[in-house]
Structure 1
Amino acid sequence: MSMSPWRLRLLIISLLTVSILGALDHTIVATSLATVAGELGALEHMSWVVVGYTLASTVLLPVIGKLGDAIGPRRVFVASLVLFLIASLACGFAQDMPQLIAGRVVQGMSSAGLQLMSQTIVAEVTTPRERPRLMAIIGAAFPIAILVGPVLGGLITDYWGWQWVFWINLPFGVVALGLALVAIPALPGYGRQRFDLAGTIWFSLAMVSLVLAVTWVGDAALVAASIALFAVAAIAFAAFFLVELRAREPLVPLRLFANRTIAAGTALSAIIGVGLFSITAYLPTYFQMAYRTSATVSGLVPIATVFGMLLSNLASGWLVSRTGHYRVYPIVGTSLGAAGLLVMALLPAGLPLWVPAVVMFVVGVGTGAFMSLVVAVVQSAAPRRDMGSITASVNLVRQVGSTVATAVIGGVIGFGVAALLPGSMDASTLTPQLVHAASPGVQAQIADIYSGVFAPVFLALAVVYALGIIAAVLLPAGRLSDEREPVSSSEPVTA
């Protein structure tokens, strides 16, 4: 569908604003959680503010994708944005933790709709050739949120009160809604006679069980429940795949994964979640312990990583839209990621902090080179009637990969450090402040322990990126097309 330049600009401004708001919900709230839990008197339920959001956004991804295909992405996007604003208002007015958790669940549901429909709308109104550049602009919301979210959340909590962490969404969201109503053209759906209820039930059961299992696996009191939930998740996933293979209108169109482009692109998306997003949260702790830095200084390495991701994401999107060639970027990107993480595994502790910062900047550059690009490439190989569903699938594997890998890495670090600590130290009470106040000999011992525990983690993630090189090589060569015709072939639309 052709759009005038000014209307397309309004559309991208609206989608980018909404994407930033949705991405900030992951990072801006984290800084204020302790304050919120203390004021509401429910510190023990604090984690559910995050878990409830994650569960809702993950479980609803394929459902919302299918709904967008059925009734049109514009309707789903507008409804999701209105619901997101209502939920943000309700979260700020929450009087107790159950009210806040309920509001966060609704926020998670609506945020999934905003994320998916933004990408689907771009796919509907642009050519495959135009798509990478615009998708990269919208995809920049995530690294921007990582960079500014924690600081912004702290400032708002300290000077305005934690309620404004949620209410800040309202003025920007209302402006984005007005722009969306003007800029987004009518995008009719393709209609569906049957809804895959059985697939939805099995998928929801599987995802809820999996997210809760990986959330509880590190708690000694909940290990048995976690194992049981892993078993439930495995059974539910098996049943889900069997149902999807037989469904007339499946929730996830498994038939499309016979397409090499879609299969390889989806694998690359999962590698981003497993290979980089999962380790980012643990980098500050690693540098505080192994490099003996302060909390403030330890944040410089994740910032360098995300900054590299942001620059590379925008550059690769612009270059692909300019030339049409896309295959080289995931190949180079996964290679850089694998090399950088391998170097991280081999770095000795005690080096100047700029050394790992440069290495992780390279990893970020490699990841950003195909972070948004793979979504655009996969969309170019999918039929338009399944655009929402396939976009949901690409995002889903990234989110699930990140969630599961984050829990696994956390468990490995926790058990590894506890096993290597001397008997006089308790891993549960070990803090960077305690280590920095200890003798130089103890500090060196703790640094060696953390270096020894993190080295195999970095090595395993380097292997993940190395597998990504194979997936990238399997992407068909060619150039993205300027044609706007509906897509139904088994390869990307090429010139």
Structure 2
Amino acid sequence: MNQIIFSRVIAGFGGGGLQLMSNVVIQDLVAPQKRGQYQSYVSSVQTLGIALGSPLGGFITDTFGWRYCFKLNILPLIGIGYFYVFHFTNYNVVTEKKTDDGDHEVNNRKNNNNATVEHLLLWEKLGSIDFLGAFILAVGNLAFAITVLLGGNTREWTDPLITATMVTTILSFILFGLYQTYWARSPLISRTCIANRNVVFSSLAYFFICMSNGSVDSTVPQFFMGVLGFSTSQSGLWTMMNALAVPIGCYCAGNYIRYQGRFLSMVILGFGFGSSLVSLLVAVTSDVSSKDVASAMSIMMLFRSMGLLYGTAIASSIIQCNLKVLLESRINGPSAEQLIRFIRTSIREVHTLSPRLQQLVANVLGQSLQKAYLFMALSCMVAILPILYLRDTNLKNEQPTAPNNKRITVAAVVAVTSDSS
């Protein structure tokens, strides 16, 4: 388990960057009114990858073992990396510099074949990354996850470890806010972007939507396997239904924004997660300058990751705490503690128990999942509030910030495909 966690951390460094860069490339190369259309392509490819991966992963797990789900990705990812490095044309965005007399001069940073490229030393590039801010935020997120996953579950809320992680969470977020506001030279959350209404409210809405969606992704398989008694492959097949519906919402939102040039009505009245996803990705950069596009997208991706983490952790905590209380009230005897631990940690093996215990577990898990789904519904309702404060803009009169390059645009789709794998 420790090896899997460490490997997922390493994968997150690359996967997070791919998710961000695919969106930044679209913002740079595609005209604003068409960005929703291209965002729908990217989101559709991502959800289709998830849709096909769920049943395929279940089949591989049932047939060959879960390790082969990771091994089968090695060669495809190497191939994708090869095309990225050797076959996609690099580009730089046209930026503006302010001269001493107050005029603006255009600085066209061309690709690597032109002598006008501004070369920065490696240490200067690394110096622009807010490593300390990222570390402080990571400590706060980790402490929060430990608090909600262990508190009331394997440890009492008054346990010294839980108290310590609670205090660490609060202090980390306070320190992060102060550091980003006053001390960071290149803050993780841009001070310019954080003052932008659409960036802030789009990111907040995305946070709560991803909190709900991440919870659904982690709990629906438990419902299929623990309550309905499905196998891993059957659970993956039924989970695929939700992922197949997302591209419909993505397509509708992308084409609506393309022809209407506006996004707000689609965010409010769209078709579930797919349309909200595309519309918010367009909204976050709808009224920021070209030099702040990457910062705005990175803020949204940060909120996305935190939403997925918080949603999964909180939903898991709700389920496990309720499971513990309900199982302890219904299972008695000398081996009750051992049996309860087995049920809570081996949901896939519940079918090995007696029919009476299987029915008991299904009922208890169903009640626990109901409370988790109430939390998910509340997250979606809260997401509506920041959406109402978005400023709608006309995207038809704006231009892309970099020359069009179809091979680079294709790279955005490839990026999300490899990230979803």
TM-score interval (norm. to shorter)? 0.7 to 0.9
Q: Report the RMSD for the aligned CA atoms in angstroms.
A: 3.4
Q: Is the 8 A contact 2:249 2:272 kept in 1?
A: yes
Q: Which residue of 1 aligns with 2:277?
A: 371
Inter-CA distance 225–136: structure 2 relative to 1 (3 Å threshold): farther
2:191 to 254, 267, 270: 254
- Residue 189 of structure 1 and its aligned partner are, at CA, apart by 6.5
Q: Deviations over 1:65-100 (max 9, x none)?
A: xxxxxxxxxxxxxxxxxxxxxxxxxxxxxxxxxxxx
Inter-CA distance 470–438: structure 2 relative to 1 (3 Å threshold): same
Q: Which residue of 1 aligns with 2:385?
A: 470
Inter-CA distance 215–322: structure 2 relative to 1 (3 Å threshold): farther
Flag structure 2 segments of 5+ consecutive residues without an equivalent.
97-117, 402-421
Residues paired across the two proteins, number: 357
Flag structure 1 segments of 5+ consecutive residues without an equivalent.
1-42, 54-104, 334-364, 487-495
Aligned amino acid, residue 457 of structure 1: A
Q: Which residue of 2 aligns with 1:428?
A: 341
The percentage of aligned residue pairs carrying the same residue is 18
CA–CA separation in structure 2 for the residues paired with 1:277 and 1:172: 27
Inter-CA distance 177–376: structure 2 relative to 1 (3 Å threshold): farther
**Could you say what secondary structure the match of 2:365 adopts?**
helix
Q: Is the 8 A contact 1:202 1:239 kept in 2?
A: no
CA–CA separation in structure 2 for the residues paired with 1:256 and 1:117: 18
Aligned amino acid, residue 389 of structure 1: S
- Residue 172 of structure 1 and its aligned partner are, at CA, apart by 2.7
What is the 5 A alignment of 1:293-442? 293-333=230-270, 365-421=271-327, 422-424=330-332, 425=336, 426-430=339-343, 431=346, 435-436=350-351, 441-442=356-357
Q: Which residue of 2 aligns with 1:109?
A: 13
Q: Which residue of 2 aligns with 1:235?
A: 171
- Residue 45 of structure 1 and its aligned partner are, at CA, apart by 3.5
- 1:244 paired with 2:244, answer no
**Could you say what secondary structure the match of 2:394 adopts?**
coil
Aligned amino acid, residue 461 of structure 1: M
* TM-score, normalised relative to structure 2: 0.73
1:169 to 48, 68, 77: 77
CA–CA separation in structure 1 for the residues paired with 2:189 and 2:347: 45
Q: Which residue of 1 aligns with 2:362?
A: 447
Q: Computing the radius of gyration over CA atoms, which structure comes out larger, 1 or 2? A: 2
- Residue 306 of structure 1 and its aligned partner are, at CA, apart by 1.2
CA–CA separation in structure 1 for the residues paired with 2:33 and 2:293: 16
CA–CA separation in structure 1 for the residues paired with 2:129 and 2:28: 29
- 1:206 paired with 2:137, answer yes
CA–CA separation in structure 1 for the residues paired with 2:94 and 2:17: 17
Aligned amino acid, residue 25 of structure 2: I
Inter-CA distance 44–471: structure 2 relative to 1 (3 Å threshold): closer
CA–CA separation in structure 2 for the residues paired with 1:286 and 1:453: 10
What is the 5 A alignment of 1:131-280? 131-150=35-54, 155=60, 158=64, 163-181=71-89, 184-187=90-93, 200-211=131-142, 213-214=144-145, 218=149, 220=154, 225=161, 227-247=163-183, 249-280=186-217
Aligned amino acid, residue 122 of structure 1: I
- Residue 155 of structure 1 and its aligned partner are, at CA, apart by 4.9
* TM-score, normalised relative to structure 1: 0.63
Aligned amino acid, residue 127 of structure 1: A
Q: Is the 8 A contact 2:55 2:233 kept in 1?
A: no
- Residue 108 of structure 1 and its aligned partner are, at CA, apart by 3.1
- Residue 168 of structure 1 and its aligned partner are, at CA, apart by 2.4
Q: Deviations over 1:420-470 (max 9, x none)?
A: 012245332125566445565544433332222111211121111112222
- Residue 314 of structure 1 and its aligned partner are, at CA, apart by 2.6
- Residue 117 of structure 1 and its aligned partner are, at CA, apart by 1.9
- 1:47 paired with 2:5, answer yes
- Residue 376 of structure 1 and its aligned partner are, at CA, apart by 1.6
- Which one scores higher on RCO, CA 8 angstroms, separation ≥ 6? 2
Aligned amino acid, residue 232 of structure 1: T
**Could you say what secondary structure the match of 2:88 adopts?**
helix
Q: Is the 8 A contact 1:133 1:318 kept in 2?
A: yes
Inter-CA distance 412–172: structure 2 relative to 1 (3 Å threshold): same
CA–CA separation in structure 2 for the residues paired with 1:185 and 1:130: 20
- 1:124 paired with 2:32, answer no
Which structure carries more helix by proportion?
A: 1
Q: Which residue of 2 aligns with 1:79?
A: none
Q: Is the 8 A contact 1:290 1:451 kept in 2?
A: yes
Q: Which residue of 1 aligns with 2:414?
A: none
Q: Is the 8 A contact 2:30 2:400 kept in 1?
A: no
Q: Deviations over 1:163-215 (max 9, x none)?
A: 4432321123322444422xx53336779999877954143123144236515
**Could you say what secondary structure the match of 1:460 adopts?**
helix
CA–CA separation in structure 2 for the residues paired with 1:419 and 1:263: 39
**Could you say what secondary structure the match of 1:250 adopts?**
coil
CA–CA separation in structure 2 for the residues paired with 1:290 and 1:274: 23
Q: Which residue of 1 aligns with 2:404?
A: none
Q: Is the 8 A contact 1:213 1:225 kept in 2?
A: no
Q: Which residue of 1 aligns with 2:221?
A: 284
Aligned amino acid, residue 429 of structure 1: F
CA–CA separation in structure 1 for the residues paired with 2:174 and 2:322: 32
Inter-CA distance 289–251: structure 2 relative to 1 (3 Å threshold): closer
Q: Is the 8 A contact 1:205 1:233 kept in 2?
A: no
